Amino acid sequence: ITPESAEKLTEMMIGVIERGAPAARVEGYTLAGKTGTAQIPVEGGYSEDETIASFVGFGPAEDPAFVILVKLDRPDPKISQWASYSAAPTFARVAKRLLDYYHIPPDELRLGGLAAASE
């Protein structure tokens, strides 16, 4: 894809975390991601009660060091069948571990004035 398309897609995926799946956030970092919730096929249609919840994302958004895919087959309905509540928190926990593992400083330290200017 073109660099312009990649930039636009990244902006949209940042918006998913900021507005649609806040459970995927890691404080101090700009991450990008997308939820997915699919009903499981059953004979004659799709299950009303069972889903596959997924969340794919990367970070830091402006210079990615990692990509994560979380896929939960039939997530616990007591938590939620929706990916924004079931898979997104797992993404955040793994992302935090990777940010620490790779010693990636928070946006404020990495980007300096750029992070504040873009908000």
Taking only the tens place, the pLDDT of each residue in 6-43 is 999 999 999 999 999 999 999 999 999 999 999 999 99
117 falls within a domain: no
115 falls within a domain: no
89 falls within a domain: yes
Using alpha carbons, list the distances in angstroms from residue 119 to 18, 58, 113: 12, 20, 10
11 three-class SS = helix
81 falls within a domain: yes
113 falls within a domain: no
Residues above pLDDT 90, as percent of the chain: 78
What size, in residues, is the chain? 119
57 falls within a domain: yes
Question: Residue 108: which H helix or E strand, with range?
Answer: helix 107-111
Question: Residue 92: which H helix or E strand, with range?
Answer: helix 83-101
Residue 119 has pLDDT above 70, yes or no: no
pLDDT at 36: 96
What is the Cα–Cα distance from 80 to 2, expressed in whole angstroms?
36
Residue 96 has pLDDT above 50, yes or no: yes
Residue 113 has pLDDT above 70, yes or no: no
Count of domains forming the chain: 1
* CATH assignment at residue 52: 3.30.450.330
116 falls within a domain: no
Average pLDDT (54-58) is: 98
Return the structure tokens found at 22.
Answer: 């806040």
Average pLDDT (113-119) is: 50
Contact 95, 104 (CB under 8 A): no
Q: Which domain covers residue 99, as residue numbers?
A: 3-108
Task: Name which of 25-29, 74-78, 106-110, 115-119 the model is least confident about.
Answer: 115-119
65 falls within a domain: yes
List 42's β-bridge partners, or say none: 45
